[in-house]
């Protein structure tokens, strides 16, 4: 271990604080080199959370939506200024090629910019009306008006290793716009980028002190700080999600909790498709892209690919042919199309998961025979893409339940649309499914059938081949989250994201009192 | 124990099923007589939940909103037919006087009728649009449309003893309207009324089999049945709420969970009020009503009464004078204005809670010296109203934290509106607070300040003296629930109630596909 790497400071209670001890090291997943260290040991967490809640919260709530939106606009400018540094950190610490880095870094900046623009339209107000007034009886003089007010607590985020930038900003932008201070605890493996972005924003003096804090390292004791009006948002494994939801802060003190967990997402090819149809080609392209972008380390990536039985072999061949062109290795080499997983631990997890899936599936494509480019296979956390397949998905169990968080997907043959719907639902709740079809009626039917088990349905048809935003890309205007094993959360979805940071209340009063709010806008997602 | 009282059958898996064993007895809280028994022992719960989920759910989802609303209308007719029987059961099993019985029985029927009417307007559709389409980029051809679809699971309700009728219907009406089958587990002490209402609706053959089930007795094993697309709604103590939220169904399988727990609700008199002002009189009336209706056994009842310091004594006298007129005893005697608590256990809890509060408060009125009417004090679960008070609420702790679920409230003196707001927030999240003022600006300011810690703000001003619906009455058009210790839930609020039973999803597709839903209405609360 190289003890000369910097111990990244935390920003808490309005000041930079270095944790105790030597800290936990962060590595380059390609070279194995140590990059930095993090420690949250010895921090006065109670002081830090109280500072954010009281000072940060009061200062943010004193601003209007339009004023807070303007601050988001300032954040965008600062982040754009330092974009090269973020790209370098991402390459080094996440092992991502340039286009994968962009999904995280530019995706995060884009999302802040989206909320800066949307938020500006909310106006010079401190709360919002929810719906119109409703009469409480025949006489119109006594009515109920629902309103949305910012919660008087902190928003605490526990984030995943795969999106150190986007994962921070897709949550922080709606929180700050809502007037709720943010404390971010990034995943240790890739915490550097999160820490650096917060550092740049803090140093630019954009936000009131206490509005944005970062704690890197162990999460010990953090949940214990949460009080009834705080909220917690977690992205990561279902197992950690269970621990968070069982914590007394949530279970007992009713801290509002949003969880976005892993899920076994699906792609569905129209039953009437042929091997030469446009829908087939669009599906193949999207599956290959989803398997390889960020080395398959996206919660939204396609894991199960449902094709009509007659197209099983054609799909296997077409997907495999494209995967064979995916060069894997050091992202600094321009010939490389897919970089590393974030850590050796993740590589081991993916390889172990693959073994599990193989108990129920055949291997249709195995990329592991190709040599890594510019990377030592004994050191680099690289895993080549693997396409598995089964002609009997109905009798499978592991394939519908186990998510391997890497460049892995399983092709499945189905006999009818109804059977495909049932098989897709066996994921027990997913973030997203995509449907590939030339038939608007089939797309609408599939969406209405599968919406209740998915946070998002993404439909690809030839008319939007060049326009669609991708199965796995999370756009700020669409809801992100899914029921059941996907965690039951809701993020983004345009201004719907503000719901999580606001309390809805009914105000029953005389019309004269409610008239005081005549100029307050009605919330509209 | 009288072993000849009937063992009430459960309705599960589409048939009446009597539990094993002698069962748990239900009593008349005035006479101590045994009324009936309940048992859920030996029921095949897995079969029952699967039947509701599959048969009941499919049948309900095959209907449109308008069709399901019509079924609610039929339920109203059946319940009205049997209203006398419900009133008798309530008097016997809950010990309530006629006007308190009406809050539960008629309140429940009114709420079903409200959703029958609101639901009819949703039309012949199977799902709803949520907001308008949003472009995903500059080109308008690819867009996102959020939709709300009924969850494909059961709605499981664990209800409180104080509202065996209203507590059932305020949850079941929105669930059934949404197309989600209901399984109700009433609190054992007062389960008879719930069981009887379900029995009447089942016998009237209104709903598809599996749409409405009832299990009385122990809740053992019930939560274990829940699967990812089910939802659970609980009303009761914070302690039981914690157990439910920590159960693997919720913590691990992300079963959506709504909790409505006890809270320490407040009333606030305008700082500019005088002892002869109208606001003062309105506040006194409402405090007395809230303390005595249902013997104070309402989650929404006023527990803390904040008055300007100069009015502390005047308020104590005015409230006490009215409480002195509250005759307590057997609800069958027409001279009685307040009946019993639901059980001897609750009486013991209230008396123990009173002792706790008294460690920080003085006794301003003690009704316990008056004789009970037509009731044996050694047997009847009656507790007379008690008004406590403190001039130093800032230094109190127990008074802001402990809810005594009976005819008990504490008067508190405050020095400024800002101090009163801070003291009210020390309830750490409440269902409702009420404000008494002649000033529309003060009402609006108070509502905006306190909304984030309350599910509802109820404002009483002289112009609505004869119109306002009462601090503690839960009206279906207003949200019911509150943050923090109130459980963090949201019920009712007009059609907002449907949110809990629907999943929100984003559908990203070509405009041609989204045009298929051109006639589906946009959800509007």
B16-34 pLDDT, tens digit per residue, is 999 999 999 999 999 999 9
| Closest C-alpha to A364, from A417, A424, A285, A288 | A288
**Per the CB < 8 Å rule, is A441 touching B516?**
yes
- Residue from B138, B508, B515, B524 to probe the interface with A (highest A Cβ count within 10 Å): B508
- In the block, residue with structure tokens 């892995």: A408
**Per the CB < 8 Å rule, is A512 touching B146?**
no
Helix intervals (H) in A18-64: 45-51, 57-62
> What integer best gives the mean pLDDT of chain A?
97
What are the residues whose beta carbons fall under 8 Å from the beta carbon of B420, sequence distance 6 or more? Answer: B268, B271, B306, B414
Q: What are phi and psi of A473, to 5 degrees?
A: -75, 130
- Look up residue A402 and give its DSSP letter: P
Chain A residues whose CB is inside 8 A of the B118 CB are: none
- Look up residue A253 and give its DSSP letter: T
> Is residue B15 less than 8 Å (CB to CB) from chain A?
no
Contact B358, B422 (CB under 8 A): no
Predicted pLDDT at A289:
98
Contact B307, B412 (CB under 8 A): yes
The question of ipTM being above 0.85 is answered as yes
Check pLDDT > 50 for residue B207: yes
Q: Which residue of B has its CA nearest to A482?
A: B505
Contact B410, B304 (CB under 8 A): yes
Distance CA B215, CA B192 (A): 11
- Look up residue B236 and give its DSSP letter: E
Contact B104, B165 (CB under 8 A): yes
The pLDDT tens digits of the residues spanning A329-379 come to 999 999 999 999 999 999 999 999 999 999 999 999 999 988 999 999 999
> How many residues comprise chain B?
525
Distance CA B514, CA B525 (A): 23
Chain B residues whose CB is inside 8 A of the A503 CB are: 451-453, 483
Check pLDDT > 60 for residue B483: yes
Query: What mean pLDDT do residues A397-406 have?
Result: 97
Question: Which residues sit opposite A259 in a β-bridge?
Answer: A234
Predicted pLDDT at A209:
98
Predicted pLDDT at A525:
85
Catalytic choice (B170, B216, B257, B260)? B260
> Is residue A392 less than 8 Å (CB to CB) from chain B?
no
Confidence of residue A2 (pLDDT cuts 50, 70, 90): very low
Chain B residues whose CB is inside 8 A of the A149 CB are: 448, 451-452
A392 in helix, strand or coil? coil
Predicted pLDDT at A274:
97
Element (DSSP H or E) covering residue B398: helix B398-401
Confidence of residue B3 (pLDDT cuts 50, 70, 90): low
Check pLDDT > 70 for residue B109: yes
> Is residue B443 less than 8 Å (CB to CB) from chain A?
yes
B150 in helix, strand or coil? strand
Q: State the distance between the two ends of chain B, measured CA to CA, in whole angstroms.
A: 50
> Is residue A468 less than 8 Å (CB to CB) from chain B?
yes
Q: Which of B248, B469, B510 sits opposite A459 (nearest CB)?
A: B510
Check pLDDT > 90 for residue B302: yes
Q: Over pLDDT 70: what percentage of chain B? A: 99
Active-site residue numbers of A? 260, 299
**Per the CB < 8 Å rule, is B493 touching A504?**
yes
**Per the CB < 8 Å rule, is A496 touching B261?**
no
**Per the CB < 8 Å rule, is A505 touching B452?**
yes
Residues within 8 A of B (CB atoms), A 314-343 only: none
Predicted pLDDT at B262:
85
Q: Over pLDDT 70: what percentage of chain A? A: 99
**Could you give the C-alpha distances from A214 to A195, A363, A407, B120, B313, in angstroms and in order?**
7, 43, 31, 50, 51
Residues within 8 A of A (CB atoms), B 223-262 only: 227-229, 238, 241-242, 245-246, 248, 250-256, 259, 261
Could you confirm whether B299 is annotated as catalytic? yes
Predicted pLDDT at A3:
57
Check pLDDT > 50 for residue A48: yes
Distance CA A39, CA A21 (A): 7
Catalytic choice (B216, B299, B360, B491)? B299
Contact B208, B59 (CB under 8 A): yes
Query: What mean pLDDT do residues A126-155 have?
Result: 96
Could you confirm whether B260 is annotated as catalytic? yes
CA distance B29 to chain A (A): 31
Residues within 8 A of B (CB atoms), A 473-492 only: 475, 477-479, 483-488, 490
> Is residue A369 less than 8 Å (CB to CB) from chain B?
no
Check pLDDT > 60 for residue A109: yes
- Residue from A451, A459, A481 to probe the interface with B (highest B Cβ count within 10 Å): A451
Confidence of residue A1 (pLDDT cuts 50, 70, 90): very low
The pLDDT tens digits of the residues spanning A18-36 come to 999 999 999 999 999 999 9
Tell me the two tokens of residue A181.
Answer: 């201070």
Name the CA dihedral angle for B412, B417, B422, B424, rounded to a multiple of 10 degrees: 50
Chain B residues whose CB is inside 8 A of the A500 CB are: none
> What integer best gives the mean pLDDT of chain B?
97
Tell me the two tokens of residue B75.
Answer: 């339920």
Tell me the two tokens of residue B162.
Answer: 């104080």
Confidence of residue B525 (pLDDT cuts 50, 70, 90): confident
Query: What mean pLDDT do residues A310-338 have?
Result: 97
> Is residue A137 less than 8 Å (CB to CB) from chain B?
yes
The pLDDT tens digits of the residues spanning B453-476 come to 999 999 999 999 999 999 999 999
CA distance A441 to chain B (A): 7
CA distance A324 to chain B (A): 30
Query: What mean pLDDT do residues A181-207 have?
Result: 98
The pLDDT tens digits of the residues spanning A217-254 come to 999 999 999 999 999 999 999 899 999 999 999 999 99
Contact A127, A112 (CB under 8 A): no
Q: Over pLDDT 90: what percentage of chain A? A: 98
Contact A349, A317 (CB under 8 A): no
Q: Which residue of A has its CA nearest to B129?
A: A448
Tell me the two tokens of residue A317.
Answer: 């061949």
**Per the CB < 8 Å rule, is B467 touching A261?**
no
> Is residue B297 less than 8 Å (CB to CB) from chain A?
no
Contact A57, A181 (CB under 8 A): yes
**Per the CB < 8 Å rule, is A467 touching B136?**
yes
**Per the CB < 8 Å rule, is A504 touching B488?**
no
Q: Which residue of A has its CA nearest to B439?
A: A513
pTM metric for this prediction:
0.97
> Is residue B310 less than 8 Å (CB to CB) from chain A?
no
What are the residues whose beta carbons fall under 8 Å from the beta carbon of A442, sequence distance 6 or more? Answer: A270, A272, A417, A435
> Is residue B62 less than 8 Å (CB to CB) from chain A?
no
Predicted pLDDT at B348:
97
Predicted pLDDT at A4:
81
Distance CA B452, CA B468 (A): 22
Predicted pLDDT at A262:
85
Check pLDDT > 60 for residue B137: yes
> Is residue B275 less than 8 Å (CB to CB) from chain A?
no
């Amino acid at each position: 271990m190289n003890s000369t790497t910097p111990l990244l400071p935390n920003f808490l209670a309005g000041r930079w604080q270095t944790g105790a001890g030597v800290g936990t090291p962060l590595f380059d997943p390609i070279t194995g080199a140590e990059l930095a260290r993090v420690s949250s040991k010895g921090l006065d967490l109670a002081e830090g959370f109280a500072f954010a809640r009281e000072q940060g919260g009061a200062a943010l709530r004193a601003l209007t939506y339009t004023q807070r939106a303007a601050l988001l606009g300032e954040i965008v400018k600062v982040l754009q200024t330092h974009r090269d540094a973020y790209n370098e950190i991402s390459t080094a610490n996440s092992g991502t090629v340039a286009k994968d880095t962009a999904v995280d870094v530019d995706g995060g900046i884009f999302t802040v910019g989206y909320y800066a623009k949307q938020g500006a339209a909310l106006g010079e107000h401190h709360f919002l009306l929810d719906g119109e007034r409703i009469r409480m009886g025949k006489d119109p003089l006594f009515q109920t008006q629902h309103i949305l007010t910012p919660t008087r607590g902190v928003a605490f985020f526990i984030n995943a290793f795969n999106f150190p930038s986007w994962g921070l900003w897709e949550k922080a932008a709606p929180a700050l716009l809502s007037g709720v201070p943010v404390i971010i605890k990034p995943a240790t493996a890739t915490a550097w980028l999160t820490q650096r972005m917060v550092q740049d924003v803090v140093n630019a003096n954009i936000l009131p002190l206490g509005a944005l804090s970062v704690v890197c390292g162990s999460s010990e004791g953090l949940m214990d700080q949460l009080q009834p009006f705080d909220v917690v948002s977690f992205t990561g494994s279902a197992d950690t999600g269970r621990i968070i939801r069982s914590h007394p802060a949530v279970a007992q003190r009713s801290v509002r909790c949003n969880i976005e967990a892993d899920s076994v997402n699906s792609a569905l090819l129209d039953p009437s498709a042929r091997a030469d149809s446009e829908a087939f080609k669009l599906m193949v392209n999207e599956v290959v892209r989803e398997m390889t972008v960020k080395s398959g380390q996206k919660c939204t990536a396609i894991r199960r690919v449902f094709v009509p039985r007659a197209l099983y072999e054609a799909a296997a061949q077409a997907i495999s042919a494209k995967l064979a062109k995916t060069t894997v290795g050091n992202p600094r080499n321009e010939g490389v199309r897919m970089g590393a997983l974030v850590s050796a631990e993740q590589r081991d997890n993916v390889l172990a998961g693959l073994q599990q899936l193989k108990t129920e599936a055949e291997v249709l494509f195995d990329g592991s025979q190709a040599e890594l480019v510019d990377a030592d296979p004994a050191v680099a956390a690289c895993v080549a893409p693997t396409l598995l397949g089964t002609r009997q998905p109905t009798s499978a169990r592991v394939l519908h339940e186990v998510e391997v968080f890497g460049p892995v997907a399983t092709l499945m043959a189905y006999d009818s649309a109804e059977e495909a719907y049932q098989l897709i639902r066996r994921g027990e709740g997913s973030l997203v499914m995509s449907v590939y079809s030339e038939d608007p009626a089939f797309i609408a039917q599939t969406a209405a059938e599968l919406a209740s088990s998915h946070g998002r349905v993404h439909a690809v048809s030839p008319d939007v081949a060049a326009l669609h935003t991708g199965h796995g890309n999370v756009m700020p205007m669409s809801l992100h989250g899914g029921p059941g094993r996907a965690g039951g959360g809701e993020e983004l979805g345009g201004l719907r994201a503000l719901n999580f940071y606001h309390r809805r209340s009914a105000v029953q009063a005389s019309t004269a009192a409610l008239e005081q709010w005549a100029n307050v806008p009605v919330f509209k997602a």
